[in-house]
Amino acid sequence: MGGKNHDALSMASEFLSRAQSSADIVLLRMAHRVMGSTLLTVGEFASSRQHFERTIELSKAAGERPLHQLYLVEPQTASLLLLSWDLWFLGYPDESLSRVSEGLALARKLGQPYSIAFAHYMMSVVHILRGDPASALASAEESLEMSREQRFSLYIFLSRISRARAIGELGQLGEAQTEMSA
């Protein structure tokens, strides 16, 4: 979005309004996920949380109809993973870990490599935030391995950052610097 937060919020609001008018459950799930993501990026964590939770509710109500064939990441999976960050910022570290774990479990169940790499990356960040660098390192390495195997350049990059942070927190500063400069 290039930092155009007002435009992003306007577009997300319009998408949500149209989805609510259409009564199309797929559009409504995506609209709430998009609104949640947009609000998360502007720091509106409580509002973002509500939209991610609505996406999760709608997804569960829809039953076994995952949408990862239509969208890169199934909306329920993405919402669980991103909700974990909202919960962390709102002061709920245990719920944050619970939701990111639930998102990883769903990604594995769906067997979608991109979602699994995304979930492991998100898990690594939650572990870093919780002060558990050993678990963060394990998750970052899982994401990095799958991302390299599948050529997911975004998660190769992000997982290397998480990996370096975890290594540094474990006291291996030289290796962390090497990881970041490679």
pLDDT in tens, 131-144: 999 999 999 999 99
Half-sphere exposure of 44 (CA within 13 A, CB side): 14
pLDDT of residue 6: 87
Band (1; pLDDT cuts 50, 70, 90): very low
pLDDT digits (tens, 9 = 90+) for 57-96: 998 887 656 655 666 788 899 999 999 999 999 999 999 9
What is the DSSP track for 62-102?
Answer: H-S---TTTSSS-HHHHHHHHHHHHHHHTT-HHHHHHHHHH
pLDDT tens-digit profile of 28-68? Answer: 999 999 999 999 999 999 999 999 999 999 988 876 566 55
Cα dihedral across residues 166, 168, 172, 174: positive or negative: positive
Interval 135-173: pLDDT, tens: 999 999 999 999 999 999 999 999 999 999 999 999 999
